Amino acid sequence: MPIPEEKQRNLQNLKVLITEDDPDADLLLCYFLDRTAGEILHARTGNEAVALCLKHPDIDLVLMDIRIPEMDGYEAVRQIRKFNKTVVIIAQTAFALAGEKEKSLESGCNDYISKPIREEVLLSMIDKHLKLLKQDREGE
């Protein structure tokens, strides 16, 4: 299904951090975001994700795998939220167990998506959260 042009415009030039330890899943997310993201950064561990968010406070979006080495995604999100309250963080996991979505939201994620990820669902979710963030910033 093609991505509507309006959504493509809303998602252009995003700075995205993909936190994913599976190279194939990372590649798929890059493919989904290739036409819209301006810059894509990559982290394989929770520690790397936190460090990159500290180094790049202008990141617009973090796609956070929950099951990653060193520090799981929940803890990485809690650490990121200590210094960045506004970045959009979407949890992603292949383990779609009961309570995972709630646990993701409680840790500080804006939303949750289960694998296998469908492009149109992901882009629609990103678009929704970026519109909300833009409205919040305009209201300040």
Provide the number of structural domains found in the chain: 1
Going by C-alpha positions, the residue among 2, 108, 27 that lies closest to residue 64 is: 108
Per-residue pLDDT tens digits for 128-138: 988 876 766 56
Phi–psi pair at 117, nearest 5 degrees: -85, 130
pTM: 0.87
CATH number of the structural domain spanning residue 68? 3.40.50.2300
Note whether residue 114 is domain-resident. yes
Cα(53)–Cα(62) distance, rounded to whole angstroms? 9
Note whether residue 19 is domain-resident. no
Note whether residue 131 is domain-resident. no
Note whether residue 22 is domain-resident. no
63 in Cβ contact with 110 (< 8 Å): no
Note whether residue 127 is domain-resident. no
Note whether residue 44 is domain-resident. yes
Phi–psi pair at 9, nearest 5 degrees: -65, -40
Per-residue pLDDT tens digits for 62-120: 999 999 999 999 999 999 999 999 999 999 987 666 677 888 989 999 999 998 899 99
Note whether residue 110 is domain-resident. yes
Residue 139: per-residue pLDDT? 59
- 35 compared with 23, residue with greater pLDDT: 23
The domain of 86 spans 40-119
Local confidence band at 9 (pLDDT 50, 70, 90 cut-offs): very low
